[in-house]
Amino acid sequence: PVDEETIDITYRVFLWMAFAGLDDKDAIRVTADCVDLKNLRINFEGHSYEIYKECIQDFEKSCNLTDFQYKHPNYITRRDRAGGNLIMRGIRTPTVDLKTIRPVINKKFSVGDTGETSGRQKSRISYKRIYLSGIFYRAYERERAGLPVDFSEFVARSIERKEKTKKYTVTKTRTLTTIANTIEREYLADYEKWKCAFAM
How far is 12 from 24, CA to CA, in rounded Å? Answer: 13
18-22, 72-76, 114-118, 121-125, range with greatest mean pLDDT? 18-22
Least confident span in 16-25, 48-57, 109-118: 109-118
Pick the more confident residue, 110 or 188.
188
**Residues ≥6 apart with Cβ < 8 Å to 35:** 42, 51, 59, 63, 87
Helices (H) and strands (E) in the chain, counts: 7, 5
Sign of the CA dihedral running 176, 178, 179, 181: positive
How far is 17 from 24, CA to CA, in rounded Å? Answer: 8
**Three-class HEC string of 97-157:** CHHHHHHHHHHHHCCCCCCCCCCCCCCCCCHHHHHHHHHHHHHHHHHHCCCCCCCHHHHHH
Residue 47 main-chain phi, psi, to 5 deg: -120, 150
Angle between helices 127-144 and 8-20 (to 10 degrees): 50
Q: What is the pTM of this model?
A: 0.85
What is the tens place of the pLDDT at every residue in 31-88?
999 999 999 999 999 999 999 999 999 999 999 999 999 988 999 999 999 999 999 9
Residue 198 carries which DSSP code? Answer: I
How far is 44 from 127, CA to CA, in rounded Å? Answer: 18
Strands 41-44 and 35-36: antiparallel
